[in-house]
Structure 1
């Protein structure tokens, strides 16, 4: 499995507010399916980030296109394959 960082930059704040519950339900389902590893918003209000686990960029993009934020035009998206580099932060 590969990891993919999906940036969801703000496109329309009102649509984002309206579709937040549906977006969070979507992410909860993806997490239950072991497809979304982690997610969260940027505290400066510019959007959010989702880390997906999948076989290919095309597969992950198909999931992202099902996100209510993307469907309704509330957010743009940008996908990058992400290589995790573990480090010990306690050193």
Structure 2
């Protein structure tokens, strides 16, 4: 018997996200992308100023991590735009 059954609770059901982005959503995504770019720039700058190879490697790993995050966000947005465009084109 799991915890939900013991407490008498039913599993939570999640609503589907809206099909369009609000202005607030767009601004938040823009902020996330900007933060990642800023971290990439700073980590590159710090790596170029350092002499310690361990610090340089850590800064390079930081750059790679945030570049992957940035690209992942762009890929996700691109898939959403492509799916929306294809669905809109079919409706015409």
TM bucket by the smaller chain? under 0.3
Higher relative contact order (CA 8 A, sep 6+): 1
TM-score (normalised: structure 2): 0.26
Compare the two structures and name the one with the higher helix fraction. Answer: 2
- Decide which structure has the larger Cα Rg and report it: 2
TM-score (normalised: structure 1): 0.26
Compare the two structures and name the one with the higher strand fraction. Answer: 1
